[in-house]
C-alpha cells in the first residue's frame, strides 16, 4: 500500500505465510489455506501437520521440524524469504492460537523486519480446536468463553493457576488446550481442583480427542470426574458454565433468550418488564436504576452481585445520568 521507499532494498519477492490448517480433515482446510500451500516454494511445519497435507506438497521443498524447534522453524522461514522464496509455515487449527504466528513475529522483529521491508507476511486463518471441538459436541460456546493452555513449558504454573481460578470464579465456558501429555499429567488434576472451588461438581465437561481426524473420540463427563477421562496431547477439554447442559448427546450453553422470552410450544412471548431489541431490565441501565432505588449500601450490593465494593460505591456516587439516550435509540438488530 505504501509507495516504494528508494532507500530500501527492492522487495525480494519473498513471503512468509502462516497457514492454519484447521483440525486436520481436508474438508475443513480453507480455500485460501490450500491456495497458500500451492503458492509456496517451501513448506515448513511440525511432522504431524506436514503429514496432514502431504498430498498437497509435490514438488515443494518440505522442512519437517519437531515440536521443540519452533524458533528454528521461524528462523528458517525468514532465511528462505530473504532469498525471495515463498514459505508456508503450517500450524494446526489457527496459526495465531497457541501457534507459530507469535514466535514468527518475534523472530522477524528481532531480525529488524518491518511490514514494509520487502518480505510480506500473510496470516491465513484456520478453524481453531475450540471451534471444531465445539461443533462436534453441540453449542457449548454460545456464551462468554475463554481458552487456557495447561502447558507449563513456557508459562509459569502460578500464572496458569491464577487464570484458571479467575475464569472459574467468573463463570466462563473454558476450552483447555494442551491439557495433558505423557510427562504433564498433574496439570489437569490441579485445574479440576481450582474449578471445583467455584463450580458445581456436576458441571458438564466434554472431552474431544483428535477432532476431525481418524481417531476422533468424544466423551461427556462432569467436572467431578474430568481428571479420570482419557485425555492426551490431541485433546481439548470443554468445561461448561453454570447454565450449560447436556441433552441427547449435545452440550449446549444457553445464549440467554430465556431471560427475555418465554418459549412455549413454538411460540415466543416477551417476559414481563422486558422488550425485544432493548437491554434487559437487569442490563446496565436497568440495574443501575434498581441499585440506586434500593437504598442498599455498597458493601451489601458488592456481596450480592460478587462485584468489587469500590466499583459499586463509585457508581452510587455518580449522579443518575439522564443523557444516555437509551429510550430513543433504535432497537439493536436481532442476531
Ligand atoms: N493452533 C492450534 C492449537 C495448538 S496447541 C489451534 O488453533 O487449534 C495444541 C492443542 O490444540 C492440543 O493439545 C489440543 O488441546 C488442541 N488441538 C489441536 N488439534 C486438535 C484436534 N484435532 N482435536 C482436539 N484438540 C486439538
Query: Is the same domain home to 243 and 152?
Result: yes
Range of the domain at 95: 15-127
What is the mean pLDDT of the segment spanning 39-53?
Answer: 92
Q: Is the pLDDT of residue 67 over 90?
A: no
Q: Render pLDDT for 220-270 as a digit per residue (tens, 0 to 9).
A: 999 999 999 999 999 999 999 999 999 999 999 999 777 777 776 667 788
Q: Which of 219, 237, 252 is the last residue of a domain?
A: 252
More confidently predicted of 275 and 301? 301
Query: Is the same domain home to 220 and 281?
Result: no
- Using 50, 70 and 90 to split pLDDT, how confident is the model at 122? very high
- Using 50, 70 and 90 to split pLDDT, how confident is the model at 197? very high
More confidently predicted of 258 and 170? 170
Cα 17 from Cα 90, distance rounded (Å): 8
The Å distance, Cα 259 to ligand 1 centre, comes to 34
- The residue nearest atom 15 of ligand 1, judged by CA position, is 177
Q: What is the DSSP letter of 29?
A: S
Query: Is the same domain home to 34 and 72?
Result: yes
Assigned domain for 332 exists: no
CB 26 within 8 A of CB 37: no
Query: Is the same domain home to 223 and 162?
Result: yes
More confidently predicted of 5 and 302? 302
N residues, the chain = 335
Q: Is the pLDDT of residue 1 over 50?
A: no
Assigned domain for 274 exists: yes
Query: Is the same domain home to 52 and 100?
Result: yes
Q: Is 99 in the pocket of ligand 1 (CB under 6 A)?
A: yes
Assigned domain for 331 exists: no
Cα 50 from Cα 147, distance rounded (Å): 25
Query: Is the same domain home to 193 and 280?
Result: no
Q: What is the structure's pLDDT at 258?
A: 77
Q: Which of 69, 94, 127 is the last residue of a domain?
A: 127
Query: Is the same domain home to 134 and 123?
Result: no
What is the mean pLDDT of the segment spanning 309-331?
Answer: 75
Q: Is the pLDDT of residue 10 over 50?
A: no
CB 236 within 8 A of CB 177: yes
- Using 50, 70 and 90 to split pLDDT, how confident is the model at 152? very high
Query: Is the same domain home to 193 and 146?
Result: yes
Look up the CATH number of the domain holding residue 161.
Answer: 3.30.950.10
Mean pLDDT of the chain: 90
Look up the CATH number of the domain holding residue 49.
Answer: 3.40.1010.10
> H helices within the chain, ranges in order?
31-39, 47-52, 70-82, 101-110, 129-137, 157-169, 187-196, 257-260, 284-294, 298-305, 309-317
Query: And the C-alpha cell for 331?
Result: 432497537
Q: Is the pLDDT of residue 4 over 50?
A: no
SS3 content of the chain, % helix, strand, coil (to 5): 35, 20, 45
Assigned domain for 154 exists: yes
The Å distance, Cα 211 to ligand 1 centre, comes to 9
Assigned domain for 210 exists: yes
Q: Is 231 in the pocket of ligand 1 (CB under 6 A)?
A: no
Q: What is the structure's pLDDT at 331?
A: 59
Q: Which of 252, 285, 314 is the last residue of a domain?
A: 252
Q: Is the pLDDT of residue 198 over 70?
A: yes
Q: What is the structure's pLDDT at 5?
A: 45
- Using 50, 70 and 90 to split pLDDT, how confident is the model at 11? low
Q: Is 98 in the pocket of ligand 1 (CB under 6 A)?
A: yes
Assigned domain for 224 exists: yes
Q: What is the structure's pLDDT at 265?
A: 61
Counting the structural domains of the chain, the total is: 3
Query: Is the same domain home to 248 and 188?
Result: yes
Assigned domain for 54 exists: yes
Query: Is the same domain home to 104 and 168?
Result: no
Query: Is the same domain home to 243 and 269?
Result: no
Cα 13 from Cα 5, distance rounded (Å): 15
Q: Is the pLDDT of residue 214 over 70?
A: yes
Query: At residue 297, what are phi and psi to the nearest 5 degrees?
Result: -80, 165
Q: Is 210 in the pocket of ligand 1 (CB under 6 A)?
A: yes
Residue to substitute in 45, 92, 181 for testing ligand 1 pocket (most ligand atoms within 8 angstroms of CB): 92
- Using 50, 70 and 90 to split pLDDT, how confident is the model at 15? very high
Query: Is the same domain home to 105 and 22?
Result: yes
Amino acid at each position: 500500500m505504501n509507495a516504494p521507499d528508494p532507500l530500501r532494498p527492492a522487495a525480494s519477492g519473498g513471503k512468509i505465510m502462516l497457514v492454519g490448517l484447521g483440525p486436520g480433515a481436508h474438508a475443513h482446510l480453507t480455500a485460501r489455506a490450500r491456495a497458500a500451500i500451492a503458492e509456496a516454494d517451501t513448506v515448513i511445519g511440525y511432522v504431524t501437520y506436514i503429514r496432514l497435507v502431504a498430498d498437497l506438497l509435490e514438488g515443494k521443498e518440505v522442512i519437517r521440524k519437531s515440536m521443540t524447534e519452533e524458533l528454528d522453524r521461524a528462523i528458517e522461514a525468514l532465511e528462505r524469504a530473504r532469498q525471495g522464496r515463498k514459505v508456508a509455515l503450517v500450524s494446526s487449527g489457527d496459526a495465531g492460537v497457541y501457534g507459530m504466528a507469535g514466535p514468527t513475529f518475534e523472530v522477524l522483529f528481532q531480525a529488524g523486519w518491518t511490514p514494509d521491508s520487502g518480505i510480506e507476511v500473510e496470516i491465513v486463518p484456520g478453524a481453531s480446536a475450540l471451534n471444531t471441538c465445539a461443533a462436534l459436541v453441540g453449542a457449548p460456546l454460545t456464551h462468554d468463553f475463554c481458552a487456557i493452555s495447561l502447558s507449563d513449558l513456557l508459562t509459569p504454573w502460578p500464572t496458569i493457576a491464577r487464570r484458571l481460578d479467575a475464569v472459574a470464579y467468573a463463570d466462563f465456558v473454558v476450552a483447555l488446550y494442551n491439557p495433558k501429555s505423557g510427562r504433564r499429567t498433574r496439570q489437569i488434576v490441579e485445574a479440576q481442583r481450582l474449578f471445583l472451588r467455584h463450580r458445581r461438581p456436576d458441571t458438564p465437561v466434554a472431552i474431544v480427542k483428535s477432532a476431525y481426524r481418524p481417531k476422533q473420540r468424544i466423551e461427556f463427563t462432569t467436572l467431578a470426574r474430568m481428571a479420570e477421562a482419557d485425555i492426551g496431547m490431541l485433546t481439548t477439554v470443554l468445561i461448561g458454565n453454570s447454565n450449560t447442559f447436556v441433552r441427547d448427546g449435545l452440550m449446549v450453553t444457553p445464549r440467554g433468550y430465556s431471560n427475555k422470552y418465554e418459549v412455549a410450544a413454538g411460540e415466543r412471548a416477551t417476559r414481563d418488564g422486558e422488550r425485544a431489541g432493548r437491554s434487559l431490565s437487569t442490563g446496565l441501565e436497568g440495574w443501575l436504576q434498581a441499585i440506586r432505588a434500593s437504598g442498599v449500601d455498597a458493601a451489601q450490593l458488592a456481596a450480592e452481585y460478587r462485584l468489587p465494593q469500590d466499583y459499586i460505591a463509585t457508581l452510587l456516587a455518580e449522579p443518575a445520568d439522564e443523557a444516555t439516550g437509551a429510550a430513543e435509540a433504535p432497537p439493536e438488530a436481532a442476531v
